[in-house]
Structure formats: C-alpha cells, structure tokens
Amino acid sequence: MKKIQKIMGLLSDNARLRILMLLMSRESCVCQVMGVLGISQPLVSRNLKLLGDVGFLEGRKEGKLVFYSMKKKMDDFNAGIIGLLRETLRGDRILSKDIRSLRACEEFQKKSGKCDMKTFSEYMSKRRGKASRV
C-alpha cells in the first residue's frame, strides 16, 4: 500500500511525469531536461533522484555528466505503471512538444559542445526567430 501511495504521489507532479515520459523516449542528462522543461538544475536533480529511488530510473556517468534512462530491469508493478503511462499518454501534445525540444537540445549540444540552460535558451530564441521568418 505504501509503495502505491508513494508512486502515485510522485506521478501527480507535472514535472516528474514529464521527466519520466521524456526518459521513456531516450536517455538524457540533467541539462537536457532543464532545457526542455525550463526548470532549475536543483529541481531537475531532485526529481530525478525521487524517480530513481522508487525504481524507475538509472544513471550512467560520462565525464562530469550523468545520463538518466528508464531502468532496464524493474519490478512488475513499476513496469505495469510505465506500460499504462505509455499507452495513456501516446500522442499527448505536451509530450510531443517535449520530445521535439529534446531533439533541438541534442542538436544544439552537438553544434556548440555546451550543456547549460542559458546557452540552450539563447539557441531556442534564435531558432524561433528563424522559424517565424520562413
């Protein structure tokens, strides 16, 4: 009963639900999640820790960065929750926008070699400006 309450409480938070859905689509680092959701590093890190503590996520270090992804082996309850979320949120407008933003963030990182919120925000502003001129 306590595990169900804890997980449902975690998933009732919009940011945590969006983070979880993003990581279902691909592995990401903290700065990418910051760029997509537009929230601070401490808040992203805290939410990643909470989702990891209940068995949804795992991390992989690469230099100074930690890349997070869905845990490959999770218990049946967590796997069932993930399956339900995938099915229910398939085609969700916000999730689709988040995934497009994540792709833009990855493109930016490849071009600039930087990984921080300020430079990603500048990149997105320039990109929106180009799109409106077309």
As beta bridge partners, residue 69 has: 58
Concatenated DSSP letters of 64-125: TEEEEEE-SS--HHHHHHHHHHHHHHTT-HHHHHHHHHHHHHHHHHHHH----HHHHHHHHH
Asked if pLDDT for residue 79 goes beyond 50, the answer is: yes
Query: Domains of the chain, with CATH numbers?
Result: 2-133 (1.10.10.10)
Looking at per-residue confidence, does 56 or 103 come out higher?
Answer: 56
Q: What is the pLDDT of residues 83-129, one digit of tens each?
A: 999 999 998 999 999 999 888 888 888 887 776 666 666 666 766 66
pLDDT class of 134 with cuts at 50, 70, 90: very low
Report the chain's terminal Cα–Cα distance, integer Å: 54
What single-letter DSSP state applies at residue 58?
A: E
